[in-house]
Amino acid sequence: MTDSATPQPESSPPLDAGQGPDQEVVLTALKAVKDPEIGVNIVDLGLVYTVASREGEVDVEMTLTSPACPAGPQIIREATEVIESLQGVSKANVRLVMNPPWSPDRMSEDARDELGMF
């Protein structure tokens, strides 16, 4: 169940029964989740470390810009909801990790441009 404040992923291609989405589909969907304090999506910020699909489940390891990030629970909840809305996904396992620690070096060029960082 989602509300209008929950980011919605782009539509994904049909999947065979029991197959989960590939990494690129999951990453594209996760671009709908933004860090509310920074206003940039979690993929371009470099917060998503790993994505693996297996039999309807998607495992994601991600981090936050700071271990004390007050938006952490919201970001994790939204990431879980977006992944579980994908066709072929019955469960998203979003795991928060702090190693390696996040740094601005992990940001994409798009994120740097959006934030005016050169």
10-residue averages of pLDDT along the chain (118 residues): 44 47 96 96 98 95 95 97 96 96 94 87
71 lies in which domain range? Answer: 23-99
Say what the pTM is. 0.81
How far CA 65 is from CA of 68, 75, 82, in Å, comes to 9, 11, 20
Q: Is residue 3 part of a domain?
A: no
pLDDT score at 118: 64
pLDDT score at 41: 98
Burial (CB count <10 Å: 0-12, 13-18, 19+), residue 43? buried
pLDDT score at 19: 63
Q: State the CATH number of the domain containing residue 42.
A: 3.30.300.130
Q: How many domains does the chain have?
A: 1
Query: What residue type is 118 in one-letter code?
Result: F
pLDDT score at 20: 76
Q: Is residue 30 part of a domain?
A: yes
Q: Is residue 16 part of a domain?
A: no
Q: Is residue 107 part of a domain?
A: no
